[in-house]
Amino acid sequence: MVNSDYLNNLNEAQIEAVTQLDGPLLIVAGAGSGKTKVLTSRIAHIIKEKKAYPNQILAVTFTNKAAKEMQSRVSKILGAGATGLSWLGTFHSICAKLLRKHASAVNLNSNFTIIDTDDQIRLIKNICKAENIDVKQLAPRYILAIIDKWKNKGQYPNEVIINNKDIYEKTILPVYKIYQQKLTDLNSCDFGDLILHVVKIFENNDDIREIYSRNFKYILVDEYQDTNYIQSRWLNLLANKNKNLCCVGDDDQSIYSWRGAEIKNFLEFDQIYKDTKVIRLEENYRSTQNILSVASQLISNNQNRVGKTLRTNMEEGELIKLNCFKNGKDEAIGISDEIEKIKKKFSLNNVAILVRAIFQTREFEERFLKIGIPYRILGGTKFYERAEIKDCVAYLRIVYQDKDDLAFERIVNNPKRSIGDSTLKIIHEFSKKQNKSLEFASRKMIEDNLIKPKTKLGLSIFLNSLSKWRDDLQNKKTNHVKLLQMILDESGYSAMLKNKKDTDNENRLENIKELLSAMKEFDNLESFLEHVSLATSIDQDWDGQKINMMTMHAAKGLEFDVVFLPGWEEGLFPHQKSIEEKGQNGLEEERRLAYVGITRAKKNAIISFSMNRFYQGDWIDSMASRFIEELPNDYLQKNSFFEEDKNQIEDFEFNQDFEADDQDSVRSPGWIRYQKRIK
């Protein structure tokens, strides 16, 4: 049964977007403006008005979740009339369906296998081994990232043009050629191939392309600002016949250029399709007017945008809080104190802390663990559970305590020292017989010449290093912070991360720098290791409410009652690397990221920055982000720190951790919980 009321709940702009059925259409959908409702209502309207049968509609999303949501909503409107929407899905799922029908055109059988990332890495490793490429210097994941970049640009190996100065790409291109041939031999393809192959089939076979371009009377695309070159090319090939291409998105939320997304697809849409109708959805159903006013003012500083002004019928709401703190620790304390105040009004599940870089979560995690505020990391791992942090801590543990077999086992061959599983098994057996630690067993086996020469050399160097580090620590030749830096340098761990081309190594190095900063807060190695043990042992896996922590990139598409946005400082946000690599385009993408962060908030947004930040083991002076200067003062509530004489900054006392003379000083509930726990 058809629900005829589907148009009644739409505003004027939404109705126009739903009923404008002829010709190319670009829907500029602001944050929280109901784009999913518009898309689903448009599909229902096309079918209801008999403009096309369900199987003549192509509706494309980026995620399976979005596709299922769209299918569900259309079904609620049309009932059985939605049956037959067989071309509603993700880019990859639809292209997989097309490719199975025409696999022979790219030398595949219709029963081809789609390999996952693990299979890709295994295949790349095998190729590198055969071609004598050192995976310690050129990580398989990095190789795959470059291959994926080429595929996103629509390039088979014979179509790639590389910069001769780029030694890595010169090495990777032959790997790409072999990799692609291997996939064909295995009757397989990867996710990048799904779209690339279909595009090549359409480009080289007019008859096949004609079948689908004629059949798809209407094409709808969600999150169009996130499309890359090959996705846009595929859509243009299909839409060339009927021109009824409707693309929905928000150029102000284009934040994935590092994944290949090209904002120009959105900005130049009306140039590709000359008769494009542009409709702006500017009424927001998520946030208060004050939040929207701040976000709109900020993003208006971008030049490369279609342009829109968000508005809402909701209340003005509270002013956006802008807090300045003495340092990063005070920032974490200030935010935790604010959370204590608001948790009676808002569920912790509806509160989020959005950071620019994942290493920023450390200080918040430390604070929350200390005072007992439960939290979760969305789209990432808790700080002390990250692999590189666990590696560093393992090195410190085995230096501190030579019987720590778990630590020994973790780092004895990390980085690689030619100490494989078979050698470790022998050491384990010897250790068990002698009832001694793995380290003791290793030293004894070397002494008795029970280790193969190649392995013996690597193991000996490692054990000698342990002895040296222990001696330096015990004789106070170094402190615990310098000790870790020494370990990282002398073990080759730092060089492994710095020299290896790996897509994740930059984040790993940032996390290690943050760890070095954290260690300076402790008097010695013992107190630090005890802290780590306690931090990792506290049970956070309970079913109650938790604060959400994530990067701003991970927050896109989500919403929360209250959003904290810390670390708005030059170099950190906007990120220096983004500006250095992409110039003005990088700055504008960083500003779009700020816009995304602010518009995740429904009720309250709290922005903050620090005057000083402990970074890479040293205190550095911080400057407020240029984005803060772009925020409209009329919608901001600044904390008392702004009123202080900046020359008296050292006298500023915000946090609850200082040893106050006045025993009656106000303490936060979290601080009281902490004091009770340690007594």
Contact predicate 279/26, CB 8 Å: yes
Annotated active-site residue 223? The verdict is yes
Judging by DSSP bridges, how do beta strands 375-377 and 547-551 pair with one another?
parallel
Q: Tokens for 575?
A: 């990120």
Residues of the chain with pLDDT under 70: 1-4, 503, 536-543, 615-617, 641-679
- pLDDT, residue 4, reads 63
- pLDDT, residue 258, reads 86
Q: Tokens for 345?
A: 């009004």
Give the up-direction half-sphere exposure of residue 247: CA atoms within 13 A in the CB hemisphere. 29
Task: Provide the 10 A C-beta neighbour count for residue 158.
Answer: 9
Distance (Å) of CA 523 to CA 468, 478, 515: 21, 13, 15
User: In angstroms, what is the C-alpha Rg of the chain?
Assistant: 29
Of 19, 20, 36, 503, catalytic = 36
Annotated active-site residue 35? The verdict is yes
Task: Provide the 10 A C-beta neighbour count for residue 354.
Answer: 29
- pLDDT, residue 664, reads 36
Annotated active-site residue 613? The verdict is no
- pLDDT, residue 540, reads 47
- pLDDT, residue 655, reads 38
DSSP 8-state class, residue 352: E
Terminal-residue alpha carbon distance, the chain: 67
- pLDDT, residue 530, reads 85
Annotated active-site residue 222? The verdict is yes
- H or E, element range at 422: helix 421-434
Q: What is the pTM of this model?
A: 0.82
Q: Which spans in 289-418 are helix H?
A: 289-299, 328-342, 361-371, 387-400, 405-411
Of 329, 591, 600, 602, catalytic = 600
Contact predicate 388/497, CB 8 Å: yes
- pLDDT, residue 3, reads 60
Of 71, 90, 120, 222, catalytic = 222
Q: Tokens for 50?
A: 């008999």
- pLDDT, residue 517, reads 87
Contact predicate 151/230, CB 8 Å: yes
Annotated active-site residue 253? The verdict is yes
Of 253, 312, 361, 423, catalytic = 253
Annotated active-site residue 676? The verdict is no
Cα 196-227-150 angle, rounded to 5 deg: 40
Nearby residues of 241 by Cβ (< 8 Å), 6 or more positions away = 210, 213, 214
d(CA 628, CA 437): 56
Nearby residues of 376 by Cβ (< 8 Å), 6 or more positions away = 540, 546, 547, 548, 549
Of 14, 35, 330, 370, catalytic = 35
Contact predicate 597/565, CB 8 Å: yes
Task: Provide the 10 A C-beta neighbour count for residue 567.
Answer: 22
Tracing tokens 């003549």 back to the chain, one arrives at 56
